[in-house]
Amino acid sequence: MNEISEWFKDQDYDKGVELYSKLPNAKTRVLSTLKRGRNDKNLATICRALRVYKQAEPAKAQVKKISKPKLVPKPAAPEVEMDRKAVIHQSAGSYFKKIKYAELPPELRVRYKQLKDLFYAMCDLHFLWLDLPDEAEEEALKLQLEIFSLDEQRDTIWKELDHWDTYRTILPTKSSEDFSGLSPKDLYLKKANTASSISKMEKRIDGWYKNMEAEPNQLKKRKIAQQINNSEKKLHQHEINLQKILELL
């Protein structure tokens, strides 16, 4: 766990890939993508995976505390605010440089704009979190959960953009069903079924990636790759559906 915490200080890409490969839930398909080399999407994938694993460690027993007045972040000094804006501007240039907006289909142009909004929202929340006093543990946790939620949405859009860049085909970008009319009970049932389908498909796709890496015949390898491509579209649709269900719960 300390090794992961240390990694976030410099985010060395090769070390990040190594740490990801050691995770108990590391997926072959994701690892194969990461080994192709560094890009913004791959680095974001590593950050998210390591962050999720780090946050999933068993929570320590907490002593019940007397409620205290809500703590608010101390406003940053003007010069600090200017430095932060410069950092965000510089990071945005690097973060989005691989995306050629003019070449995106209409569906993905919308998603690209959403990705930019998520990026700036996460930056704002991150700096808000940095400005909190040390004793504001409850507020810090809320901000971390907000950042984590936005990070999941960001990861979904990156998958869509990366898939287009690789295959020139479009992953689903909207839920395939209207869940708004379902009762809370039906939503929870739908959530469980969708999550189960996602888990099964991930394992199946992971197995195909292993088979593809071990397959010496190029024709068979291409057939497996096509099978993976089609299944990843279905998997992505399930993931979007699950996000929509969670929004309604």
User: What tens digit of pLDDT does each residue of 55-78 get?
Assistant: 665 444 343 343 444 545 555 555
Q: Which of 13-22, 78-87, 220-229, 239-248 has the least mean pLDDT?
A: 78-87
Q: Is the pLDDT of residue 21 over 90?
A: no
Q: Which of the two residues, 64 and 224, has the higher pLDDT score?
A: 224
**Mean predicted lDDT score pLDDT of the chain:** 79
Q: What share of the chain is helix, strand, coil (3-state, %, to 5)?
A: 75, 0, 25
Contacts of 122 (CB under 8 A, 6+ apart): 147, 150, 151, 154
Q: Are 175 and 240 in contact (CB under 8 A)?
A: yes
Q: Which of 160-169, 177-186, 196-205 has the least mean pLDDT?
A: 160-169
pLDDT of residue 32: 79
> What 8-state DSSP symbol labels residue 183?
-
- CA 222 to mean position of chain CA atoms: 28
Residue linked to tokens 């080399």? 37
Q: For residues 157 and 80, give the distance between their C-alpha atoms in angstroms, rounded to a whole number.
A: 31
> What 8-state DSSP symbol labels residue 53?
H
pLDDT tens string 111-146: 889 988 888 888 888 888 888 887 888 888 888 888
